[in-house]
Structure 1
């Protein structure tokens, strides 16, 4: 029985084609601003992978919200295809109030995969660490240079 489920999961994963960046943009919700460019999105995913190796990420709305309220610093990365938007629409406001940089990426499944999870993730906070400080600073500079929504 378990083998059948594993086989079904494998065929489903093979049957679903990987969407390109442009195709993922079609599924964005209206509040997904500022959106990271394709290049910045790749850099953020790489930084998330490095941070996950050192256990320096906060994953999920509840955990990210808790640590923003505690005053923790880092880059907040939100998925632009999360529905309903009521789940996480308060996070950008919290980030702006505390002067934390944030950006949207097009896919929550890619965001979860970058964090080393099989589950999609709608919010991740990357904390700074000396092992990947150069990549973190580069992402931080680019995210801060993105124009804020009106």
Structure 2
């Protein structure tokens, strides 16, 4: 009986900070901007975050608009992940065209804070994940899934 009381107390006495930080998928998707296509599915998004974490630990990731743009123009290849809740859109509206010209597959995820959490930072707008032997299998799986996403119209 004591165990049931503890569980009941926990469910009743949740702090605002615990419920406030956990935004649902639908809430995140409702905050997307107009150019956020192709959007990764919920399952693919989780795999992308996992790949970002592994790439960060292997130091094979580039983050931020300026660095990603510089590396893409120099000819580096990889997989680009953009956040869909950036405002104003003008900040990164040129990146999809730049990535398409370079032949780099890309997709959007709903939240820049979640990309930042995967990186161990506050937020990030765009990351370029490069292939590495430590996470090659996961990278290949995610890369193929992003390549088959329907292109934006």
TM-score over 0.5 for the pair: yes
Aligned to 1:81: 85
Aligned to 1:52: 56
1:97-132 Cα deviation digits (max 9, x unpaired): 111000000000001111121x21010010000110
Aligned to 1:27: 31
Q: Output the aligned Cα RMSD.
A: 1.4
Specify whether residues 15 and 90 from structure 1 end up closer, same or farther in structure 2 by C-alpha distance, changes over 3 A only.
same
1:64 to 46, 50, 68: 68
Specify whether residues 73 and 13 from structure 1 end up closer, same or farther in structure 2 by C-alpha distance, changes over 3 A only.
farther
| Runs of 4+ off more than 2 Å | 11-17
Find out whether 1:102 has 2:106 as its counterpart.
yes
Q: 2: CA distance between counterparts of 1:76 and 1:140?
A: 10
5+ long unaligned stretches in structure 2? 1-14
Q: CA deviation at 1:17?
A: 3.0
Please report the TM-score for the alignment, with normalisation by the length of structure 2: 0.87
Q: 1: CA distance between counterparts of 2:97 and 2:24?
A: 29
Q: 2: CA distance between counterparts of 1:108 and 1:56?
A: 19
1:37 to 35, 41, 48: 41
Match of 2:136, SS state, is: helix
Q: 2: CA distance between counterparts of 1:131 and 1:52?
A: 11
Q: 2: CA distance between counterparts of 1:129 and 1:116?
A: 20
Aligned to 2:132: 129
Specify whether residues 15 and 43 from structure 1 end up closer, same or farther in structure 2 by C-alpha distance, changes over 3 A only.
closer
1:147 to 133, 145, 150: 150
